[in-house]
Amino acid sequence: MSQNISDQTNYWIEEINRLRVEKDAVILAHYYQQPDIQEVADFVGDSLDLSKKAASTTASIIVFAGVHFMAETAKILNPSKKVLLPDLAAGCSLAESCSAEDLKKFKIENPNHIVVSYVNTSAEVKALSDLVCTSSNAEAIIRSIPATKPILFAPDKNLGRYIMEITGRKMDLWEGSCIVHESFSLDKLISLHKEHPTAQIIAHPESEGFILDVANFIGSTSQLIEHVKTQECTSFIVATEAGILHKMQQVVPHKKLIPAPAKENNTCACSECGFMKMNSIEKLYLCLKNETPEITLDQHLINEALIPIQRMLALS
Ligand code: 13P
Ligand code: SF4
């Protein structure tokens, strides 16, 4: 008799639990992963937390339930470990918007610029950067750079513009953006807020300026979760990828969390990252079982990309 879906899922979860012990593996997951993946993970966090966990783990295998640049960062920080990503095609529109060739060209034309790259970039782009940052520490990283130095902030123009506003620091911005965070509709958000006038609007800084302008709070995924936890307010409109609502609702079960509405989508109010959602519990099981797909990087590239990541971790 064929198994029904929940029996099948239970089997994958049981096998994941058995295999992680047998193989001494740790499962790291981003807040945008499917709820079942977040539940099975050893650690769920934002990009910075996940980098720190990857750097400090003693496990032999790191299974990264996230997107490609996150698993690459884990490999760079821990080159002796096997780093697995359930689906190698899990990319990122931001990482794709900045090629190493184009950045090389910029550096040749602008040799004095300090290049600060968002962690959402390829290992090759990190290797060309002076500093890496995440949305949790971008402000501190930019403030650490002497005022006389010109800065290129790549590739997220929305995060870059926001950091310019809060620090008063002028920067050159790469023309890149996140397709998910650019999907929010201001008109629909304002209408929704009229229906929930006491709700706070909270947003990830990858969102466009017109969304950030109306937000009561702006922060990384972990900062958004911390915010809803510590505020007296009992309802929030959340402008970031909808996967975050799983953990957020667990942290504040009694509060109302409303996903910010997307421009195009009339049937579903939420925005989901197709790259993050390429991972599934089945792929997680298969990748742990078969120890593939594996992230492999040239040792020279690892050495070069590690420098700006370590500078970031020292400043975080
Ligand atoms: P953080 O989790 O660091 O806020 O980043 C969000 C993101 O864009 C992941 O792709
Ligand atoms: Fe990239 Fe945006 Fe998806 Fe994050 S949410 S992985 S920035 S495309």
Same domain, 150 and 192: no
Same domain, 135 and 282: no
264 domain-assigned: no
Taking all residues of the chain, what is their mean pLDDT, rounded to a whole number? 95
Mutate to test the pocket of ligand 2, among 135, 241, 278 (most ligand atoms within 8 A of CB): 241
Mutate to test the pocket of ligand 2, among 30, 70, 179 (most ligand atoms within 8 A of CB): 179
Summarize pLDDT for 252-283 with one digit per residue, the tens. 999 999 999 998 765 554 589 999 999 999 99
CATH assignment of the domain containing 76: 3.40.50.10800
Rounded mean pLDDT of 38-67?
96
Domain residue limits at 136: 94-179+302-314
Number of domains in the chain: 3
270 domain-assigned: no
Q: What are the pocket residues of ligand 1 if the criterion is a CB atom closer than 6 Å to any ligand atom?
A: 46-48, 120, 134-136, 204, 206, 220-221
CA–centroid distance, 47 to ligand 1, in Å, is 5
Same domain, 157 and 233: no
251 domain-assigned: yes
12 domain-assigned: yes
CA–centroid distance, 4 to ligand 1, in Å, is 34
Which residue has its alpha carbon closest to ligand 2 atom 3? 273
Please enumerate, as own/partner, the contacts of 201-205 that have beta carbons within 8 Å and a separation of 24 or more: 201/236, 201/237, 201/239, 201/260, 202/227, 202/228, 202/236, 202/237, 202/238, 202/239, 203/239, 203/240, 203/260, 204/135, 204/239, 204/240, 204/241, 205/135, 205/138, 205/158, 205/159, 205/162, 205/163
Summarize pLDDT for 190-213 with one digit per residue, the tens. 999 999 999 999 999 999 999 999
Same domain, 118 and 59: no
Rounded mean pLDDT of 301-316?
96
154 domain-assigned: yes
Which residue has its alpha carbon closest to ligand 1 atom 5? 47
Rounded mean pLDDT of 305-316?
96
Same domain, 213 and 195: yes
267 domain-assigned: no
Residues facing 235 on adjacent strands: 256
Same domain, 100 and 71: no
Which residue has its alpha carbon closest to ligand 1 atom 2? 46
Same domain, 49 and 98: no
Same domain, 98 and 76: no
Same domain, 173 and 196: no
Mutate to test the pocket of ligand 2, among 70, 93, 279 (most ligand atoms within 8 A of CB): 93
Give one DSSP letter per residue of the chain, joined into a string: -PPPHHHHHHHHHHHHHHHHHHTTEEEEEETTS-HHHHHH-SEEE-HHHHHHHHHH---SEEEEES-HHHHHHHHHH-TTSEEE-S-TT---HHHHT--HHHHHHHHHH-TT-EEEEESSS-HHHHHT-SEEE-TTTHHHHHHTS-TTS-EEEESBHHHHHHHHHHH----EE-SB--TTTT-B-HHHHHHHHHHSTTPEEEE-TTS-HHHHHH-SEE--HHHHHHHHHH-S--EEEEES-TTHHHHHHHH-TTSEEEEPPBSS-SS------TTGGG--HHHHHHHHHHT-SB----HHHHHHHHHHHHHHHHH-
Summarize pLDDT for 130-183 with one digit per residue, the tens. 999 999 999 999 999 999 999 999 999 999 999 999 999 999 999 999 999 999
Same domain, 195 and 247: yes
Which residue has its alpha carbon closest to ligand 1 atom 9? 47
Q: What are the pocket residues of ligand 2 if the criterion is a CB atom closer than 6 Å to any ligand atom?
A: 67, 92-94, 120, 178-180, 206, 241, 273, 275-276
Give the integer Cα–Cα distance in Å for 80 and 302.
11
Same domain, 31 and 163: no
Give the integer Cα–Cα distance in Å for 295 and 76.
10
- Looking at residue 1, its pLDDT comes to 42
- In the chain, % of residues over pLDDT 70: 97
- In the chain, % of residues over pLDDT 90: 94
271 domain-assigned: no
200 domain-assigned: yes
Nearest ligand 2 atom to the CA of 66 is 6
Same domain, 7 and 86: yes
CA–centroid distance, 3 to ligand 1, in Å, is 36
For residue 247, the one-letter residue type is K
CA–centroid distance, 175 to ligand 1, in Å, is 18
